[in-house]
Amino acid sequence: MKTHNRTHQRPWHAFTIEKVCQALDCTEQGLNGREAQHRLQRFGPNQLTAMTSRGPIKRFFSQFHNLLIYVLLLAGVITAAIEHWIDSGVIVGVVLINALIGFVQEGKAEKALDAIRNLLTHQAMVRRDDKNVLIPAEELVPGDIVTIESGDKVPADLRLLAVKNLRVDESMLTGESLPVEKNMKAIDSNAALGDRFCMAYSGTFVTYGTATGIVVATGDSTEIGRISSMLRAVTPLTTPLLRQITRFSRWLTVAIITLAATTFAYGWYVQHSSLTDLFMSAVGLAVAAIPEGLPAIMTITLAIGVQRMAKRNAIIRRLPAVETLGSVTVICSDKTGTLTCNEMTVGSVFANGKRYGVEGVGYDPHGCFELENQSITLDDHPQLIELIRAGALCNNAGLEQKNGNWLVHGDPTEGALLTLARKAMLDPDLLKQEMPRIDIIPFESEHRYMASLHHDHSGHAFIFVKGAPERVLAMCTLQRDNGEDQPISVQQWHEAMHTMADSGQRLLAVAFKAENTGMSQLKYEDIETGLTLLGVVGMIDPPRKEAIEAVHECQNAGIRVKMITGDHAVTAAAIAAQINIGGRSVLTGKDIDNMSDAELAGAVRNSDVFARTSPENKLRLVTALQADGQTVAMTGDGVNDAPALKRADVGVAMGKKGTEVAKESSEMVLADDNFVSIAHAVEEGRGIYDNLKKSIIFILPTNGGEALTIVAAISTGKILPITPVQILWVNMITAVTLALTLAFEPPERNIMQRKPREPGEPLLSKFLIWRILFVSLIIVSGTFGLFLWERSLGTSIEEARTVAVNTLVCFEMFYVFNSRYLHNSVLSPEGLFGNRLLWGAVILLGLFQLAFTYWQPMQVLFGTVAIDLHTWKMIISVSASVFILVELEKSIIRLFRPK
């Protein structure tokens, strides 16, 4: 019988090894088989609980639970009732396609939890009955003694008992870009996850060294299990567009039912029309008012947006997210790799009492050296060259140029030192030939330095050392000043290091020692004292130049950019200052933990930089922003980011270094891991929303004009000027030609100078409602007016209806040009000819209408007859009025609109 594993609730990182063994009732010899079996029954297997998901049939039919879908199905039933089977089939087809898209997308969302479960390792080396045995990782229990080594995935949460040069990549949990050195010392119980150096967590990777640890948590009780539980509990928000469509569908449904019922009642009680005629009029009115083509146009518009964004390195996984990007008011961005290059770079060097600046970014070995903001020649600074040479020799990394990019093989900090050497015109390979390495003391966490012994070809021996500044400083008795050895000034170095650390740089001290000619072995006692300090190197993962510009562009667009990182506060503040995000104030994960939800809601309004954050911190930050009425985009790459990515309005995962968990929890994946692509996606998203509005503002006046034409006919007791089947023809043919071209409109030029739209803004604003009514009245006046004119001349009902349908379509042909710009005039070469597809659609629609009017099969199907050239001139003259009147309306609105 499985019981809940509560061992994870204890602060194991704060316990001594003796206390851990006592609490778990185990020894360093391991558990015996019987006790291990008993604990397996008690705590359950070391695996994550699978998410209880709905079956595929239930999940498929749930896609139809949407008011807009009900409206469409009603349209399908009505068109089937009037035996127009083709149109009924088209409408049902649109409904099925939308349902399939939703079904597939929902299935992808559930893969996130499967991806987490796949992160767990399959086997573990464990000590049982005083023997090391390899067992399935699912059989591990609290109290087991486990051995891990380089290349392993940690099989459970471990409190480390013995460590040998252990480094663990915890980026998936903490966001820390570099592997973490581990030790066995207990630390404060409130320490952040990234600072728990005596722990190794399930699912993380051992990059170097070996260790033995005691299992303190398994399965759902591990850190990764806790995140999986959070992910199951997080309910993703509906996108603003879907919320708007739901409100729009309700409004449209009520409006159609009210209009149809009122018209039916008027015809029955006032006009005393026959029940059959009124029923057909009500059917025609409903068909006229329902925009059958709108869902298809919206889906196509979003799909075109997906293609555009893909070309700009933003891969959309869920269709509605295309538009949501356009409404984003806050972007919560990860630091490493998104805002920064994810390449350690030497930014400054302190040597010979001077601080030198180093230009260049990443591992590309191009960049000059500066002193007091002036470029220098290295020949005049031999001590700087001496330090750079030492850093390149005491080094295990390699630097390679591949396909135009410079890549590091080995530790990133050592790669930065090799790049520094190449900037100084020193070839690391040639240096190693000139001074071959004889022996080495590798970096170990307990010593915190690396040392190497070299001989030159004259037989001289030199020891080079690099490591943590405070450790190397304690080993030095001398410092190099102007080419001479002087007694070391500890205070001077501490002041210099403090200044460099305040700028967010990671520091590395470099020292050397000349030795006896015959020395061939390197021992610890050889370097514990008597070293000469050459200088201190400051490194940082620098911000991307293009990211700085993109952040500025987003800020100009009214979007607030916040940086949320697992890195230390000092580093986060330094990078944020360079990118111009927020002030120097930084909130840490510990600060967030101590805040109530109300306090956090106030803090997120005033703070833009958050450091050392946990998965709960990130999720609370996103939730607090949403509670404040913000539409939030959240970037991330690790498992620790998954709950916040799922909760955000738009989750953005990294394509290059992101985990599958992060990708499956997100709506968008960045192919280049670059913040610039987010800014581009926001621009495209705004353009897509504009195009959706343009499609709506184009399609709805057609429906409004048709509906009002039928209302006018019923209220005046006239015969219907357009039959239901002709209405369906107009709706579908204009939707697949003219309306579709608006989906290809490029973003307008000033789109990133606008403020984000309000999250609660309805799909139909007051302006859009006015435009729809205005154009509908123009269309009904021209269409019904020409119908009455033709009837007054004694023409047949078939000819009058043919004139009415063609007038309606010609109105659409002129009005589509107005719709290219919502507010600006289209009376310019760009406005009239900027969309070549539009002219192609107009010509194609013209051919369709000629077939509709003159081709005998179409005449039989739709009840049309041929009309003469004089009638066409009259139709075009009347329908052109919409273009003139709408452009006049735009100019009046621009005149009185606040600047």
**Could you give the residue numbers annotated as active site?**
334
166 within 8 A of 206, measured Cβ to Cβ: yes
Listed in order, strand segments (DSSP E) in 170-283 are 180-181, 199-200, 205-217
8 Å CB contact between 818 and 826? yes
Q: Kindly list the distances between the CA atom of residue 600 and the CA atoms of 69, 149, 569, in Å, as whole numbers in the listed order.
A: 40, 41, 18
Tokens of 851: 């077939």
Cα–Cα distance measured from residue 420 to residue 388, given in angstroms and rounded to the nearest whole number: 7
Residue 178's identity, in one-letter code, is: L
CA proximity to 435, closest of 450, 414, 452, 417: 452
Report the alpha-carbon angle 211-213-218, nearest 5.
Answer: 130
Segment holding 262, helix H or strand E:
helix 240-269
Torsion angles phi and psi, residue 727, rounded to 5: -60, -45
Residue 880, phi then psi, degrees to nearest 5: -65, -20
Bridge partners for 587 per DSSP: 610
| DSSP helix/strand/coil, 745 | coil
Half-sphere exposure of 891 (CA within 13 A, CB side): 9
Half-sphere exposure at residue 756, Cβ-oriented, CA atoms within 13 angstroms: 26
Question: Which residue reads 């000092």 in tokens?
Answer: 570
> In 3D, which of 698, 702, 693 has the Cα closest to residue 748?
693
Token couple for 507: 């520091």
Alpha-helix runs per DSSP H in 82-160: 85-117
Q: Bridge partners of 215?
A: 158
Q: C-alpha angle 867/869/873, rounded to 5°? A: 110
Scan for tokens 């002041």, then name that residue: 495
Q: Comparing C-alpha atoms, which of 722, 743, 720 is closest to residue 819? A: 743
Nearest CA to 718 out of 803, 643, 787, 816 is that of 787
Report the Cα–Cα distance between both ends of the chain, in Å, rounded: 71
The one-letter amino acid code at 653 reads: A
Contacting residues for 27 by C-beta, under 8 A, at least 6 apart: 21
- In this structure, the number of other CB atoms found within 10 A of the CB of residue 212 comes to 20
Q: Which helix (H) or strand (E) holds 128?
A: strand 123-128
Q: Are 224 and 116 a contacting pair, CB within 8 Å?
A: yes
319 contact partners, CB below 8 Å, separation of at least 6 = 101, 105, 299, 302, 303, 306
CA distance 53 to 62: 13
Residues 196, 367: Cα–Cα separation, whole Å: 37
Number of Cβ within a 10 Å radius of residue 74: 16
Name the residue with tokens 């006032």.
270
* 276 Cβ neighbours under 8 A, 6+ residues apart: none
Judge whether 660 and 645 are in contact, CB under 8 Å: no
Residue with the two structure tokens 């490493």: 336
